[in-house]
Amino acid sequence: MAAPTASCTDAPVAPFSAGRGRTTVDVPPDACDCHVHLYDARYPAAAGATLRPPDAGAADYRQLQRRTGTQRVVFVTPSTYGTDNRPLCDALEAFGPKARGVAVVDEQVGDAELAALHARGIRGIRLNLSLGVVNSASQIEPLARRVAPLGWHLQLLAPAHTWIDLTDVLDRLPVPVVFDHFGRLAPSMAGRHPSHALILRLLEKRRAWVKLSGAYIVSERGAPLYEDVGALARSFLDAAPDRVLWGSDWPHASASAGHHAMPDDAELMALLAGWTGTSEALRRVLVDNPAELYGFAPPATLQETS
């Protein structure tokens, strides 16, 4: 299936997204964007936070959904707020059962707080070892043990070479690992770097998931097509099609900071359609896989036939 391009006929636009128009990809019902951050100046940035983008709220993101065709969403507390998950909880309240969350905590978090976060729709925690200011690699195992009874997962963001140093830790974790942004592998590392082989092995053993998010971050060729990312994306899809997720990474804070060109989210969806190749594979990534990991209600078609 060739990758469709975005249409400008209906011309919806969204803040912090290049281009205009809804994607012409046939996006299935209940499709989920698994990686979104919201920013709200009412909440202070954590000491030492380097990314401090403009406000990007729930109403802004609803405009993006008009372009990408997604209906479900996973909000992730960004590095900006440290362990302050109040903006995340606001977003979950605004979107209700169509949203889930990934929080940031440290070793001081109490069981009561974890239970409260679970009740609000949080289903995992994130450790940002690249830009985060509250977590370190030494916390991976202790925090994984804390959230395991809740059935949560551990989402990790770190430079690609880090995974090799953490091989033993990743192998013995009591929870699934979700790798952000292609595991932060550059496309040229595919098939060559040991971190790529490690992630593939964890995927095949069903101990990990990977997010095809932030193509504009990992691409070595850049906008507008990010052509070099395709082989890397397909390596994950071929290894474990039931362990791959997609996320827009809206509102693209690193692009707002000038580190990358602002991507067109309708085109990012078209890229995914090209990588998956068939409507069935696209549905698996956008609907079935997120429903399993984040505990969304079964797809509507399954509910109707059950």
**How is the chain split into domains, by residue range?**
32-297
Residue 249 appears among annotated catalytic residues = yes
Among the listed residues 249, 264, 265, 288, the single catalytic one is 249
What is the pTM (predicted TM-score) of this model? 0.93
Q: Is the peptide bond before 251 cis (omega within 30 degrees of 0)?
A: yes
Backbone angles phi, psi at 181, to 5 degrees: 45, 55
Q: Which residue has the tokens 């097509």?
A: 225
Q: Which of 17, 36, 35, 25 is nearest to 262 (CA)?
A: 17
Average pLDDT of the residues in 248-257? 93
- pLDDT at 70 (0 to 100): 98
Over residues 121-168, the pLDDT tens digits come to 999 999 999 887 789 999 999 999 999 999 999 999 999 999 999 999
> What per-residue confidence (pLDDT) applies to 223?
85
Instruction: Please write the tens of the pLDDT for every residue from 83-131.
Output: 999 999 999 999 999 999 999 999 999 999 999 999 999 999 999 998 8
Architecture of the domain defined by 32-297: Alpha-Beta Barrel (3.20)
